[in-house]
Amino acid sequence: QVQLVESGGGLVQAGGSLRLSCAASGRTSSSYTMGWFRQAPGKERSFVAAINWSGGSTSYADSVKGRFTIARDNAKNTVYLQMNNLKPEDTAVYYCAGGRGRFPLEVRTGYDYWGQGTQVTVSS
């Protein structure tokens, strides 16, 4: 019922910036908590950032604090991930996700809808 489509991935040099977008369609709700996850080769999917329904509360993985910023525009049904000072260790497929429930959601089970992912590659 809910479709999430990520865009904005690509190849960037270390220290550069990239902004990912996640467009939601279908039976969406602005009350959903939205999050970003990533999965690097040979690793499990990990939490990156989350934002509550109003955008007033955010949460970040320690590895991206101070570098990444999550934001949302409910009028456009879109959530963003601004990634600054990118490092090679940030290379991964990035997934957008949404879920119902009180913020913050359980990162392992709280997200119900997932996009197909967008590749981010950071070269050294």
pLDDT tens-digit readout, 1-60: 899 999 999 999 999 999 999 999 988 777 899 999 999 999 999 999 999 999 999 999
Among the listed residues 1, 16, 4, the one whose alpha carbon sits nearest the alpha carbon of residue 78: 4
**Beta strands per DSSP E along 17-64:** 18-26, 33-39, 46-51, 58-60
Q: What is the pLDDT of residues 83-117, one digit of tens each?
A: 999 999 999 999 999 999 889 999 999 999 999 99
The pLDDT score that the predictor gives to residue 85 is 98
ω into 88 cis (within 30 of 0): no
The pLDDT score that the predictor gives to residue 29 is 74
| Position 31, amino acid | S
The pLDDT score that the predictor gives to residue 30 is 76
The pLDDT score that the predictor gives to residue 44 is 96
The pLDDT score that the predictor gives to residue 68 is 98
